[in-house]
Amino acid sequence: MVGSKVTLDKIPRLDTTNSSVDIDLIGIAKNNNETRSAAVAFMSYNTMDNLLKPDFFNTSNDTIKTMMSTVISATLPKTTNTKLTKPVNFTLKHIREFDPNGSLSCVYWNISEWIVDGCSVLKTNSSYTVCSCVHLSTFALIMQTSRPSEVREHL
């Protein structure tokens, strides 16, 4: 939490085992004129992909979808004006082997599906990906890979 008595000089980083978030709490607090405060809650769910499956990512192409990160969630509780002053960057550690031929998408959960609106991949390597999003929500990293050609022939 950031308040009028707390002086931070840079954007704080919050860490979990497999992820981290950089959020401009200072700017958000300054936009809350009455309280001059802001708080962020950051959670990581190790088995949430059993419920919020990568197959709920609806894409036009016929691909294999693999969850590449834990599911994380970030909210601004007890903060009146929750408009972000800067995009939020999430660093997501890959929890499965990275396929260099795959296509990575930073996604967020919207009612019943994963969507990409407002989120993009900033950078990636074989062990982690940095996503940038213009809003807070529940996020994950999904990789799409082509189906093997012999499987496609039988569809």
Give domain limits for the chain. 13-153
Q: Kindly report, residue by residue over 122-150, the tens digit of the pLDDT.
A: 999 999 999 999 999 999 999 999 877 65
Q: What is the pTM of this model?
A: 0.84
CA distances from 95 to 67, 92, 126, 132 (A): 8, 9, 11, 19
Which CATH number applies to 13-153?
2.60.220.50
Cβ 144 vs Cβ 59: under 8 Å: yes
121 CB burial (10 A radius; 0-12, 13-18, 19+): middle
pLDDT-derived band at 28, boundaries 50, 70, 90: confident
